[in-house]
A and B are shown apart, each in its own frame.
Chain A
């Protein structure tokens, strides 16, 4: 009898041990997989910085070096001048700031009307607007290109700002946020004789600040990353946006491209985005998880 129990106990112990070893092995496997994927995800960033600090000769070595022998910060100066990044940066910031501010005003007013005011055809109008979100942007671009040409807007800042001021998605996002603010607050304000506009400014806007920040970041990133529309309508030196400038500055040359300098330019364009990522990540994630749009 006692022999059998000990046998069973031994078997049990062996089984528990086996399970634990398997569990640890599995954990190790999981971490190995995640770390490998993490390295793959990070590698292009590392390679960008590594390449941007090399001399052209070192960059061309048949076996690439993983750390630059001579650190060439001068590549960054060269890149800044070659691509005239200063001007591109100012252009982009101007377009980004102006379009963000105007866009916020329009979005707040519309979202307020859809969330708090009552008017005929509200739901039909809102549904119709949401439906336009399904249509790919290219379909609008074709006619908008004709429209802005007729308006004589090509090669101005206006053409980079105005056509994209209204975003149905941002209106939708903010309306959802406004709807969460309890009705009682609105009624209390009404009893106190507060006007709609004052209520919007004093109560609703402060309460939905996180959403407004998300919109601001996405809008600024949109200006920073926009490429197709600016190339079509405002690709002159005075109005060129940063992404267009980056791509053009290094494809116009017919000779051999100075890759380290190119990578330095790429790094400088990526850096502000990296800062946004580090400090404002949670706002982006909040906006993004509900959209699936980029910028």
Chain B
């Protein structure tokens, strides 16, 4: 672009005129928040309410040390990390299998492709409520453990059809493992379309010659998958894994969709709260210092995981 053909370059102020609306808004809603959030994170026990009242706050790392010792925060961190490490590998593997399968067929490929993209264009709160209805035990939602179960829910019906025992997935008295299982299923369902879109796009741009050569050599399908498909697709796999982790660390609304704002079953609210949920909870109780510290920790985690993955993929990814 560095050419002297830019006639308008005699009037550089014009460019700033074009940029002005964006820059003003960015200054207020992007640049200032970065500065201010970092400032609040390092002001111990900062609270907007007290600040208005004229209180001053000591500079230090107190917010961080307090947050990481806070039991609720540790629970949120555990939930977030658990959800990430369950959903990202499962959804990536499943998306890879589906993409490879889709790429290997001709008949009915387009309709299937359309079906697999459908969950992308949904409202995660709305469909979360559908998943909740599917896993719900109707009739004892607000009741006690001993209350008679009227309907076991469609998922439990399917389990019973195949001879299994019904599970209390999300209702009163449900186990943590069952809750996490439901969240994992929902988040994987939600994450598949984007991953399939990227991976299938990658597969379709792979040079067919590699496969023809493998065919001539009589290479087995499993070997082709492991030695050709996966390495050639590795940049896209790295991409969906990284974006998957970033999205996973910011998980919040899908849990609200299933459990509502209580973020947990009726007898154990906040059990499934996440890092983002913790930030908002601190915010609504006017603990901006704590919220800022938690948000910075979240940012740090995302940064570390992303850099780590970029480092690994630089070594492993075949470009």
Residues of A192-207 contacting chain B, CB below 8 A: 196
Q: Which single residue of chain B is at the shortest CB-CB distance from A275?
A: B121
Cβ contact within 8 Å between A138 and B250: yes
A289–B119 Cα distance when bound, in Å, is 15
Q: Is A270 part of the contact surface with B, judged by Cβ < 8 Å?
A: yes
Task: Report the number of A-B residue pairs with Cβ-Cβ less than 8 Å.
Answer: 269
Whether a CB of chain B sits under 8 angstroms from the CB of A8 is no
B219 on the A face (CB < 8 A): no
Q: Which of A21-57 contact B (CB under 8 A)?
A: 26-27, 30-31, 33-34, 37-38, 40-42, 44-45, 47-48, 51
A5 interface residue per 8 A CB criterion: no
Q: Is the CB of B138 within 8 A of A259?
A: yes
Q: Does A136 contact B (CB under 8 A)?
A: yes
A76 at the interface (CB under 8 A from B): no
Look across to chain B and name the residue whose beta carbon is closest to the beta carbon of A109.
Answer: B18
Residues of B within 8 A of A107 (CB): 22
Is A251 interfacial (CB 8 A cutoff)? yes
Q: Is A234 an interface residue (CB 8 A)?
A: no
Which stretch (B59-67, B70-78, B126-134, B174-182) binds chain A?
B126-134
Partner of A166 from the list B22, B112, B252 (CB cut-off 8 Å) is: B22
Contacts of B311 in A (CB 8 A): none
CB–CB B141/A256 < 8 A:
yes
Contact, CB under 8 Å: B133 / A119: no
B21/A289 in contact, CB under 8 A: no
B25 in contact with A247 (CB, 8 Å): no
CA distance A36 to B25 in the complex (A): 48
B134 partner, pick from A44, A228, A284, beta carbons under 8 A: A44
- What string of 1s and 0s marks CB contacts (under 8 Å) between A259-291 and chain B? 100110010011001101100010011001100
Which DSSP category, helix, strand, loop or mixed, fits chain A's interface? helix
Q: How far is the CA of A159 from the CA of B154 in the complex (A)?
A: 41
**A90 touches B (CB below 8 Å):** no
- For B6, B112, B126, B306, which residue has the most chain A Cβ atoms within 10 angstroms? B126
Are B30 and A117 closer than 8 Å at their CB atoms?
no
A-side interface size class = 35 or more
Complex: A141 Cα to B299 Cα, angstroms: 13
What is the chain A residue whose CB lies nearest that of B3? A183
Question: Is A146 an interface residue, CB under 8 A from the partner?
Answer: yes
In the complex, whether B221 has a CB less than 8 A from a CB of chain A is: yes
Give B277-319 as 1s and 0s: 1 = Cβ < 8 Å from A's Cβ atoms: 0011001100010011001101100110010000000000000
Q: Which of B14, B125, B247 contacts A227 (CB 8 A)?
A: B125
- Contact (A110, B22) CB under 8 Å given A118-B6, A285-B117: yes
A179 vs B154: C-alpha distance when bound (angstroms): 53
Is B101 touching A138 in the complex (CB atoms < 8 A)? no
Residues in A with CB closer than 8 Å to B94 are: 37
Residue with the greatest number of chain A CB neighbours at <10 A, chosen from B8, B94, B153: B8
Is the CB of A142 closer than 8 A to any CB of chain B? yes
Q: In chain B between 250 and 290, which residues have their CB closer than 8 angstroms to a CB of chain A?
A: 250, 252-253, 256-257, 260-261, 276, 279-280, 283-284, 288
Closest chain B residue to A30 by CB distance?
B101
- Cα–Cα, bound, A294→B124 (Å): 10
Residue contact B105 to A31, C-beta cutoff 8 Å: yes
Residues of B close to A276: CB separation below 8 A: 121
| Per-residue contact bits, chain A 141-165, to B (CB 8 Å; 1 contact, 0 not) | 1111111000000000000001111
Closest Cβ of chain B to A183, distance in Å, is 7
Instruction: Please determine whether A110 and B18 come into contact, CB atoms closer than 8 angstroms.
Output: yes
A259-B133, A294-B120 are known; give 12 further A-B pairs, CB within 8 A.
A34-B101, A51-B133, A62-B151, A113-B18, A119-B12, A132-B30, A132-B34, A136-B249, A140-B37, A246-B129, A251-B260, A294-B194
Q: Nearest 7 pairs between A and B by C-beta?
A: A143-B33, A292-B243, A117-B15, A113-B18, A119-B15, A118-B9, A277-B121
Q: List 13 A-B contacts (CB under 8 A).
A: A30-B104, A34-B105, A45-B118, A110-B18, A119-B15, A129-B26, A139-B296, A143-B37, A162-B25, A190-B7, A269-B126, A288-B194, A289-B197
Using a CB–CB distance below 8 Å, which chain A residues touch chain B?
A: 26-27, 30-31, 33-34, 37-38, 40-42, 44-45, 47-48, 51, 59-64, 105-107, 109-110, 112-114, 116-120, 122, 129, 132, 134-147, 162-166, 171, 183, 187, 190, 196, 221, 224-225, 227-228, 232, 243, 246-247, 250-251, 254-257, 259, 262-263, 266, 269-270, 273-274, 276-277, 281, 284-285, 288-289, 292, 294
